[in-house]
Amino acid sequence: MNGKDTPAPSYSSPRHVVIIGANGALGSDLVKVFRDGWQVTGLTPEDLDVRDLQSVRRPLVAARADLVINTAAYNLVREAEANSDEAYAVNATGAGHVAAVAREVGAACLHYSSDYVFDGETTRPYTEADPPRPVNVYGASKLAGERAVLEASPRNLVLRTTGLYGETPTVTKGRNFVQIVWQMARGRQEIAISEREVCSPTWTLELARQTRVVIEADASGLFHAVSEGACTWREFAQAVLDLSGERVIVRGQPQALDPGLARPRFTVLENARLRALGLNIMKPWRAALEEFLRSEGGARLRTLSGS
């Protein structure tokens, strides 16, 4: 099930995975998913700084893992326009550091990229075969990072995803969209959310499960991995409230909150390679959201959000 002419990773038993960003939104769910059957080493920003090659090398050499999963990202889209050096240092140079050291120690590297590598000027879902064309610094830095990872070794993988939400808030943003919606709706009958952008919101636990499926199929190369289907952020917010039993109406807000920033309007991704290889386990976005809201993790997040 590998990409054409791509050698498969060879895992010994017991398999050992290092997860960079293990305290983050996606990283914490990856730890949950891989700890049954794998030896897991979780690293946080206190353990290494992806911007510093030596900082990356020390723990990865010590770990002697079969696989390195890198979830570190600078994902503040608006701030990236004014802090392009920092965005590239983490998303591009940092991704390259991790991939280079993984190759040195004989490990495969899996990295996450973004729908923002596309310009959004289409009306059909993007596949892995579509040429990327980022329209902002964040997207350009993520594209540079995925190229660095794939060029480092034919064993490596890049999963493009979008609209992540889960029990653990992101380290950089401090909260996710589901929390934002609950907090906006508190004590109100109506809220306003952008209906300008269309994407495929994706539960981090679902993505972590999909990640393990791809790894254990000995796949390599570039994949899209998102919940099936698409919606506007307004539609997603309304679903969050409806499925939570909240009687709040979500109005469409035609303009983005920061209209001066170039944002792709339509970044729906299609899991074309996953489907072609028989590996796609991603649910429709609304079904995944309902499962999340009914889960213990969703209940804890709602309590923490004060709703």
Question: What's the mean pLDDT when you consider all of the chain?
Answer: 91
Which of the four pLDDT bands, split at 50, 70 and 90, describes residue 182? very high
Asked whether residue 3 is assigned to any structural domain, the reply reads no
User: Does residue 10 lie within any of the structural domains?
Assistant: no
Among 74, 88, 116, 138, the one annotated catalytic: 138
**Does 5 fall in a domain?**
no
Confidence of residue 256 (pLDDT cuts 50, 70, 90): low
Share of the chain above pLDDT 90, in %: 82
- Residue 216's H or E segment, with its range, is helix 204-216
Q: Is 294 within a domain?
A: yes
**Mean pLDDT within 202-227:** 97
pLDDT at position 9 is: 43
pLDDT of residue 258: 54
Residue 56 lies in a domain: yes
User: pLDDT band at 253, cuts 50/70/90?
Assistant: confident
Strand, helix or coil at 90?
Answer: helix
Q: Note the pLDDT of residue 306.
A: 76
3-state helix, strand, coil in the chain (%, to 5): 40, 15, 40
Could you tell me if residue 6 is inside a domain? Answer: no
The pLDDT value given to residue 173: 67
pLDDT, residue 292, reads: 96
Catalytic (active site) residue 74: no
Compute the distance between CA of residue 139 and CA of residue 282 in angstroms, rounded to an integer.
Answer: 24
What domain count does the chain have? Answer: 1
7 lies in a domain?
A: no
The predicted structure's pLDDT at residue 8 = 42
Kindly state the average pLDDT of the residues 157-171.
90
pLDDT band at residue 14 using 50, 70 and 90 as cut-offs: low
Q: What is the CATH number of the domain that holds 156?
A: 3.40.50.720
Q: Convert the pLDDT of each residue in 81-135 to its tens digit.
A: 999 999 999 999 999 999 999 999 999 999 999 999 999 999 999 999 999 999 9
Q: Of 255, 287, 215, whose CA–CA distance to 2 is shortest?
A: 215
DSSP 178: H
Q: What is the pLDDT of residues 23-75, one digit of tens each?
A: 999 999 999 999 999 999 999 999 999 999 999 999 999 999 999 999 999 99
Quick one: tokens of 29? 């769910």
Residue 82 lies in a domain: yes
CA–CA dist 279, 135 (Å, integer): 31
Tokens standing for 44?
């946080």
- pLDDT band per the 50, 70, 90 thresholds, residue 169: confident
**Range of the structural domain that residue 293 is part of:** 16-304
